[in-house]
Structure 1
Amino acid sequence: MHLEILQNRSLRLTVAPELGASIVGLELHQAGFWLPILRPTSPAALVQKHSPDTSSYILAPYSNRIREGRFVFAGKTYQLRPNWPDGQTLHGEVHGRPWSAQRINEHTLHCAFDASSLHDLNFPFPFRVEVAYRLQGDSLETSTTLVNVGTEPMPAGFGHHPYFMRHLGNSREALLCFGADHIYLTDTSCLPTRPAEAIPPEFDFSQPRPAGATMLDHVFAGWNGKLSLDWPGSDWRMELSADPIFSHLVVFTAPDGSVALEPVTHATDGFNLLSQGWENTGVRVLEPGEKLAGSLRLTLAPSR
């Protein structure tokens, strides 16, 4: 599998265009070594082309789960095929497919996916997604654009699914901090059962807490677009900032010991929540030719 590598003095980013333009490595250079910021992708995941086992993958034209793979939009019901081992439909339609890729310069990679000509598309509306990765000093900027290339309005959203290391080298457990207004409490299928509500103390990360302090697979609403991950004992911390379009944040303490911090534009099962009249789901309706766009900036900085 062909891999694209962007590298400067501080960071090394490896991307697999053939595997959903997924990130298969993001590393920090320190004292002659490359330390993984995101969980490393195994060779087996690349050979098997299994994007959920990469370091980070792209979610589009929706993020997270759709209940029973069925949603209602503009009065019509659409049924999608299950695409996950548990029989659910989730995480969009692009992360396991080949994308085109073009090096813009030494530190910028532009990737694109066009669904308009696919016969096996598991989504009722054609779309195009573009993602640009840029290394700038101690930062990685990721810009995403989703376009409705069809002739009808479509519900839309996107996100990114990075898995962060909870230990950097010999550091202690990472401390996570972010601000949000509400949280969606979920059923056993990790789907919201009622509108977002006040955040209980055990899910409150407005002050730094160990990333694994609470087992989470939840969506936070009204995210302020900022979070930090501090690795005590490493002298490094990560700061993530997101454009306002990323109004929701998914936090998932993964069984492999990493923590997924997923900036997304809408709530889990957002298409159905929108059709049920729930407010502030984050779902956008794109008219033909309309775009949805936003950027993330991940920066490594010395610990304060």
Structure 2
Amino acid sequence: MGAISEAVTLRAGALEVGLAPAIGGSVSAMRWRGVDLMRRLSDDDRDAGNVLGVAMFPMTPYANRIARNEFDFGARRWRVLPNNPPERFNVHGSGWKQPWAVIKIDATAAVLALEVVAGAEPYSYRAEQVFAASEEGLSIKMTLTNTGPVAMPFGFGLHPWFDRDPDVTLQFSARRFHLEEPDGVSGDPITLPRELDFAKGRPLPDGWRNNDYGGWAGEATIRFPARGAGLRIVADPVFKHLMLYADPTKPYFCLEPQTNASGAFNRGRWNDPDEGAIVLAPGESAAGAVSFMPFAAP
């Protein structure tokens, strides 16, 4: 498939993007005009191979948690394994826990790939990330192919981490809000309450937030006024959901574009476009791109 690389750096104009293929096919840093726009992977976390310390990792072959570590599909019950102790339930699939191969690289672009063969868990798939840096920003196209013998439900997404500056603000539009149930599992959606709406832009919430915003419009803006910069996120329509994780006791927060609703695999509404699960027959693929575009924000 290609060689595993410990580190890759892409540069275009004022943009510098670090990749850590061996640590879950992750982004290790995103800097623009010398300013970090994602949480930078520390030297200690890099040495330890700690994927929970990266700037951004891929979620595949689904995003977020599988409650009870099982789901029903195609007249069968499929089981997955816990993968993020001490959490009880599998979260974000298997892609972020494995090294990815570097298939192609030049000064401004890289292709990373991962092949997984079903074993203790049911999924066989090939995943690919195509990174392209330009003066406008970073584009990441994700492609997921079912290499298994039967049709299966899939999903994918990106899990960026951002520094929680005191003056940071978020802005994005969505139509629904998934309540959080025990163990981080998302429940059914409700109409988005005004006090939880970020359509007009607002600071991060003072309290805990770990919720899926459904019916996402595909754009989000993060502003870091003290850094004089911001980041615009633009996603293809296949990314119907945006997950917000914000713990006021932590120095970071997450804003995660994803195709499937959190909890969708347990609700089993496979034909519901709002749930966003993608059923792929053997050999079928799904793809989508997300762009991260810096801008000056006085």
TM, length-normalised to structure 1: 0.90
After superposition, give the CA deviation of every residue in 1:35-72 in whole Å (9 maximum; x if it has no partner).
Answer: 21111112222222221221111100011100021111
Equivalent in the alignment of 1:258: 252
Partner SS, residue 128 of structure 1: strand
Unaligned 5+ runs, structure 2: none
C-alpha separation in 2, matches of 1:271 and 1:123: 15
Unaligned 5+ runs, structure 1: none
Q: Please point out which of 257, 277, 281 is paired with 1:287.
A: 281
Equivalent in the alignment of 1:245: 238
Q: Please point out which of 12, 18, 23 is paired with 1:19.
A: 23
C-alpha separation in 2, matches of 1:50 and 1:228: 28
- 2:220 is aligned with what amino acid? L
Equivalent in the alignment of 1:142: 140
TM, length-normalised to structure 2: 0.92
Partner SS, residue 61 of structure 1: coil
Equivalent in the alignment of 1:159: 157
C-alpha separation in 2, matches of 1:244 and 1:122: 33
- 1:98 is aligned with what amino acid? P
C-alpha separation in 2, matches of 1:234 and 1:84: 33
Would you say the 8 A contact 1:110–1:133 is kept in 2?
yes
1:37 matched to 2:41? The reply is no
* Gap change, CA 1:164 and 1:26, over 3 Å in 2: same
Partner SS, residue 20 of structure 1: coil
Deviation at 1:10, TM superposition (A): 1.1
C-alpha separation in 2, matches of 1:243 and 1:127: 22
Q: CA RMSD in A?
A: 1.9
1:2 matched to 2:6? The reply is yes
Which consecutive aligned stretches of 4+ in structure 1 deviate over 4 angstroms post-superposition?
275-279
Equivalent in the alignment of 2:292: 298
C-alpha separation in 1, matches of 2:20 and 2:147: 25
C-alpha separation in 1, matches of 2:43 and 2:296: 31
Partner SS, residue 18 of structure 1: coil
Equivalent in the alignment of 1:269: 263
* 1:77-156 equivalence runs, <5 A: 77-85=77-85, 86-116=87-117, 121-156=119-154
Q: How many residues align?
A: 292
- 2:23 is aligned with what amino acid? L
Deviation at 1:231, TM superposition (A): 1.9
* 1:227-242 equivalence runs, <5 A: 227-242=220-235
Would you say the 8 A contact 1:220–1:249 is kept in 2?
yes
C-alpha separation in 2, matches of 1:46 and 1:135: 22
Partner SS, residue 281 of structure 1: coil
After superposition, give the CA deviation of every residue in 1:82-111 in whole Å (9 maximum; x if it has no partner).
Answer: 112122211110112111103443100100
Deviation at 1:166, TM superposition (A): 3.0
Would you say the 8 A contact 1:185–1:218 is kept in 2?
yes
Would you say the 8 A contact 1:131–1:144 is kept in 2?
yes
Partner SS, residue 189 of structure 1: helix
Partner SS, residue 182 of structure 2: coil
Aligned-pair identity in percent equals 26
After superposition, give the CA deviation of every residue in 1:113-169 in whole Å (9 maximum; x if it has no partner).
Answer: 0113x6xx45302100000111110300010000011221011000110011233xx
* Gap change, CA 1:234 and 1:40, over 3 Å in 2: closer
